[in-house]
Structure 1
Amino acid sequence: MNLNFNKKSVFVQIVCLLFILLFVYAAVSKLLDFENFTVQLAQSPLLSAHASWVSIFVPAAELFTVLLLLIPRHRIKGLYCCLNLMIMFTVYIFIVLHYSSFVPCSCGGVLAKMSWNAHLLFNILFVVLAILAIAWKNCHRKSKAFAEYVYEMKWIGGSFCFSVLTVLLLFLSSEKIMHNDNPFIRRYPIHPAEFIYDVDLKFNSYYFSGSTGSTIYLGNFTSPSRILAINENNKKEKIFNITFDPKDIPFRAVTIAVRDSTFYLSDGSVPAVFSGRIKDWKITNEFKGVPYFTKVVPLDSKSIVFRSNNAKNSANVLGIFDAESNTKIQYKRNLLQGQIDGIFDTDGSLLYSSEQKKIIYLYLYRNEFIVADRNGDLSYRGHTIDTIKHVKIKVASIKNDMERMISSPSYPVNAKAAVCSNLLFVNSKIKGRFENSRLWEQSYIIDVYDIKKNIYLLSFPVYHTGKEKLSGFLVTPTNLYALIGNRISVYKLNEAIKKEMQPK
């Protein structure tokens, strides 16, 4: 550059050099690690939905700005580009710190080790430098007309308005897309759920029955009448035995569920549902007249929601059993919608949120879930963020069309699920865009949805060692419990998740 010994002119030359160094380093760093840069943008609470094109635009804009600064006759244009970019970066960080749903990890490159507040101060400093450089660009001239200063101030003001509005529009549009029309991009906030300890159960035959207060309960498939209780606070374990004389009931697949102060013993092959109080673990009540079922979830001490094969061609159907109603059984045949056979293609998880009084049914092989009120009336049909709209299975008939089975490899989408208040937690089996393969090899991914707002919120990993499978998980207002093999991994729910939970 041709340095002029006028102090203001020298200042402008130095500012241009600083911007050239900054943008060259930043752009080259992004391009050398382009995949990681794109992943970082995908995790941004402002730019997630626009990560594909923003990851190309930003380094391209930085290098274009450098080119303008290197050409003397275009240097003023380059300084305006510097101003626009730095204002955009500054507004971006301000929104991240004050208005976004979470604060992501710091970006890479020259500012990798700075905190977000340090980023903000750094950017403000360069905004000021750009404004001064623009104002003093033609300072070598003996005089400068007042109209020229006004003209420059208008352009500087226009740059501010343009840059701020651009980032605001990107933020608002990205939030709308991510929450409602997600293009299969997961958001991983910093430690929304943090591992705190695990418990060795010795056996892998346990399953989650439920929780009350600070205690979680686990049933055991090999010892159906035995319940293991674990206190969340002190980790103490206690075993309870259910008092019950089944007489000649041909039980084959007993499961225990705990809701509030009541426990429920059920077996759909009998069919039978019994209940009692957890204070003494004695059976005191029978739900007489329940139909055969393949899944059941208690709603309260007098009613249950169930899934049976009572529909046409033995297809799955949801129903409500109310012991105090004149018509005890009501089938809700419009809820489950088949795509192939109505059996395998409608398989899934049946859940109930007592806080929201909502029934949730999550399909196993496609990106859909159903939310209904406690009477079984449809509230809405929601979708998980993956793109599997149609089940990828083939069904074959055997034994003269008396039995059916899946004849090709199945592709589960939503493997496991749990609900706590208004939040639906889903163990997804489908890898999203811009995601690290190593993360999927080392963990199970949990996606979180708000069933009250019908939006996707965030995702987080539950790590595992070895080849043990996730057999189920339970969520309380404070913790997430994951059954992996014969161990329970306990994760503490942090503010990113807790603030999304709503009371009754």
Structure 2
Amino acid sequence: MKISTICISIISYFFILLFVYAAVSKILDFENFQIQIAQSPLLSTYAGITSYAVIIAELLISFCLMFPRYRIYGLYSSLGLMTSFTIYIYLIIHYSEFVPCSCGGILEKLGWDEHLIFNIGCAIMAAIGIYLSVRLKQRFLKTSLWIISTIIFSFSLVLIPFLSSEQMMKKNNNFIRRFPHHPIVQDKSLDLGANSYYFAGISNGKVILGNYISPLTITEIDSSFTTFRQHTIKLDHYDHPFKSLTLYIRDSHFYLADGTVPVIYRGNLNTLSAKTMSYKKMYFDQLQVLDSTQIAFRTFNPNTKIRSLGILQSISGNYHLNDDIIKKQKDGLFDTDGQLIADSRTNTYYYIYYYRNKIITIKTSENSVSEQNTIDTTHIAKVQSTILSDGKTKMTAPPLTVNKMATACWGVIFNQSNLMGRFENRDQWKTNAIIDIYNTQNKSYSGSFYVQNRHKNKMTGMLAGNNYFYTLIGNEIIRYRYAQTIMEDFRKGEAENLRSE
């Protein structure tokens, strides 16, 4: 037997072993393999077809390599597949926004650079096998052209998804989440001794908490995140039938509001004395302070029979309702329910529907309203309701909740989703809250991260600041540091806001 024939056999059996082992490993842990593909910055939107195509290709190539009659096709296919893997890894390392985890299996101990070297070696080995096979037939020129064509085709096979996947992922997502490495990292935690706190805001670098049980108590977390102090607010009038007195912080001022009275107080954090700034102007069920002159609120408009958003001018006391922002789909009550949040850094407020994949951005400085979708596919609110004999609307079945709560900073929204995306691990959902990040400047999805439960306690509140992300879980407040990618989104939002001013 000639040496060239022996070399061809060795190369063929090497690829058979490599591809069969790789294919079987993927099949045995197929769910995890799909999750890994879904996290790829290049292949996220093609995770379904790619996960099957790679396994089928590896098995078909192995089959061809087993038989001398089809071995040359197997070697060309091996060259193409290893070239595709090489180009893919090169793009991941040099052009990806983040580098995902390495694949498992026989090469799980290798990093991305080692993978690149290994794949280049395999591609060269396949090319050598092809030349040795053709040498027996003396067709070098034609073989070289075929090898070059195979490399070009393989390059295109990877480049096209690379160019289109990011656009589809960020703007036309089909509910596939991306989890960059450590977008937030836990920094510190503090035991508050109770679980009745909520976030009121941030002032001078200090986190301010309100308390559902003690509504006139302000809790101030020091910047070192080691101690907290509590103060009692004094009101100019207490004789109101309060039901839900809520605290809001804006710069050095605080606001207390109860929309069922309805009343809004305003005071200074230095004096802790509050005076009535609005009384019986309008009823509301949600409120957000935009600046010292404007307050956004949500109310139920009896004329249109749907929820409406409005702006209260704190100086004049006048308010204006906009009936065109919140859109009715079914009953106008439950289907329009959502959360009103404000971005204190940009004087922008947002309305995020609970039961459909829609975020509304309202910029007061530009008097503009725009919309963008969250990445899930629930366009129509899945709520069922009926009108009772007394005219009240009652929900007749539990609704499908899409978005649970949100917070915003510098045009970046952190939204807690209630739905599991494609190719995600169900066990993770049992022990974590899922947070999706949206950039409202370019209306895109930036990525997601998990906030882990603590001692079976789930997250009850979250707040985004300039430098830290905060959560309330059980009796604790936890502070996290942002990764560089999130800080870059903040800087883009800051620059955009400065330009608009």
Normalised-by-shorter TM-score class:
over 0.9
1:32 matches 2:32: no
Q: What is the rounded CA distance, in whole Å, between the counterparts of 1:470 and 1:313 in structure 2?
A: 36
1:360 matches 2:360: no
Q: What is the rounded CA distance, in whole Å, between the counterparts of 1:152 and 1:258 in structure 2?
A: 72
Work out which of the residue numbers 418, 441, 446 in structure 1 matches 2:407: 418
Work out which of the residue numbers 460, 468, 473 in structure 2 matches 1:471: 460
Work out which of the residue numbers 469, 484, 490 in structure 2 matches 1:495: 484
Alpha-carbon contact 2:292-2:314 (below 8 Å) kept: no
What SS does the corresponding residue of 1:345 show, helix, strand or coil? Answer: coil
Q: What is the rounded CA distance, in whole Å, between the counterparts of 2:387 and 2:136 in structure 1?
A: 89
Alpha-carbon contact 1:192-1:497 (below 8 Å) kept: yes
Task: Select between 108-117 and 71-80 the one with higher mean Cα deviation.
Answer: 71-80
Any residues of structure 2 matched to 1:57-456 within 5 Å, and which?
57-140=53-136, 144=138, 148-283=139-274, 286-287=277-278, 290-312=281-303, 314-324=305-315, 328-374=318-364, 377-398=367-388, 400-401=390-391, 403-456=392-445
Letter in 2 for 1:389: H
Q: What is the rounded CA distance, in whole Å, between the counterparts of 2:120 and 2:345 in structure 1?
A: 46
Alpha-carbon contact 2:290-2:348 (below 8 Å) kept: no
Q: What is the rounded CA distance, in whole Å, between the counterparts of 1:124 and 1:232 in structure 2?
A: 51
Q: What is the rounded CA distance, in whole Å, between the counterparts of 1:191 and 1:469 in structure 2?
A: 20
Task: Calculate the aligned-residue CA RMSD, in Å.
Answer: 2.2
TM-score, normalised by the number of residues in structure 2: 0.92
What SS does the corresponding residue of 1:309 show, helix, strand or coil? Answer: strand
Deviation at 1:32, TM superposition (A): 1.7
Deviation at 1:427, TM superposition (A): 1.0
What SS does the corresponding residue of 1:96 show, helix, strand or coil? Answer: helix
The equivalent residue for 1:460 is: 449
Q: What is the rounded CA distance, in whole Å, between the counterparts of 2:169 and 2:238 in structure 1?
A: 55
Letter in 2 for 1:280: T
Alpha-carbon contact 2:175-2:375 (below 8 Å) kept: yes
Q: What is the rounded CA distance, in whole Å, between the counterparts of 2:297 and 2:453 in structure 1?
A: 32
Q: What is the rounded CA distance, in whole Å, between the counterparts of 1:400 and 1:262 in structure 2?
A: 43
Distance 1:134 1:213, change over 3 A: farther
Q: Deviations over 1:416-469 (max 9, x none)?
A: 111121211111111111121111111111111111111112111111145544
Distance 1:232 1:93, change over 3 A: farther
Deviation at 1:491, TM superposition (A): 2.9
Letter in 2 for 1:67: F
Deviation at 1:218, TM superposition (A): 0.4
Q: What is the rounded CA distance, in whole Å, between the counterparts of 2:178 and 2:299 in structure 1?
A: 36
Q: What is the rounded CA distance, in whole Å, between the counterparts of 1:192 and 1:434 in structure 2?
A: 20
Distance 1:494 1:460, change over 3 A: same
Q: Deviations over 1:215-247 (max 9, x none)?
A: 111001222221111134343212232233225
Letter in 2 for 1:158: S
Runs (5+) with no aligned partner, structure 2: none
Q: Deviations over 1:270-327 (max 9, x none)?
A: 22222233233333672467421111101110111110112436421001112356x9
Deviation at 1:177, TM superposition (A): 1.6
The alignment-based identity, stated in percent, is 38
What SS does the corresponding residue of 1:481 show, helix, strand or coil? Answer: strand
What SS does the corresponding residue of 1:189 show, helix, strand or coil? Answer: coil
Q: Deviations over 1:152-180 (max 9, x none)?
A: 22222222221111111112222122111
Q: What is the rounded CA distance, in whole Å, between the counterparts of 2:409 and 2:281 in structure 1?
A: 27
Distance 1:375 1:294, change over 3 A: farther
TM-score, normalised by the number of residues in structure 1: 0.92
Q: What is the rounded CA distance, in whole Å, between the counterparts of 2:192 and 2:394 in structure 1?
A: 34
Q: What is the rounded CA distance, in whole Å, between the counterparts of 1:172 and 1:316 in structure 2?
A: 42
Q: What is the rounded CA distance, in whole Å, between the counterparts of 1:212 and 1:168 in structure 2?
A: 48
What SS does the corresponding residue of 2:397 show, helix, strand or coil? Answer: coil
Alpha-carbon contact 1:262-1:277 (below 8 Å) kept: yes
Q: What is the rounded CA distance, in whole Å, between the counterparts of 2:216 and 2:469 in structure 1?
A: 25
Q: What is the rounded CA distance, in whole Å, between the counterparts of 2:396 and 2:70 in structure 1?
A: 67
Distance 1:206 1:234, change over 3 A: closer
Deviation at 1:151, TM superposition (A): 2.1
Distance 1:261 1:150, change over 3 A: farther
Distance 1:69 1:213, change over 3 A: farther
Alpha-carbon contact 2:343-2:349 (below 8 Å) kept: yes
What SS does the corresponding residue of 1:253 show, helix, strand or coil? Answer: coil
Q: What is the rounded CA distance, in whole Å, between the counterparts of 1:499 and 1:13 in structure 2?
A: 52
Alpha-carbon contact 2:261-2:280 (below 8 Å) kept: no
Runs (5+) with no aligned partner, structure 1: none
The equivalent residue for 2:13 is: 17
Letter in 1 for 2:359: F
Letter in 1 for 2:180: P
Alpha-carbon contact 1:214-1:233 (below 8 Å) kept: no
Q: Deviations over 1:353-409 (max 9, x none)?
A: 2333322100011111111111684432211111222222222334621x3332222
What SS does the corresponding residue of 2:489 show, helix, strand or coil? Answer: coil
Distance 1:497 1:400, change over 3 A: same
The equivalent residue for 2:472 is: 483
Deviation at 1:199, TM superposition (A): 2.4
Q: What is the rounded CA distance, in whole Å, between the counterparts of 1:485 and 1:411 in structure 2?
A: 25
Q: What is the rounded CA distance, in whole Å, between the counterparts of 1:168 and 1:200 in structure 2?
A: 50
Q: What is the rounded CA distance, in whole Å, between the counterparts of 1:37 and 1:369 in structure 2?
A: 32
The equivalent residue for 2:2 is: 5
Distance 1:357 1:164, change over 3 A: farther
Letter in 2 for 1:486: N
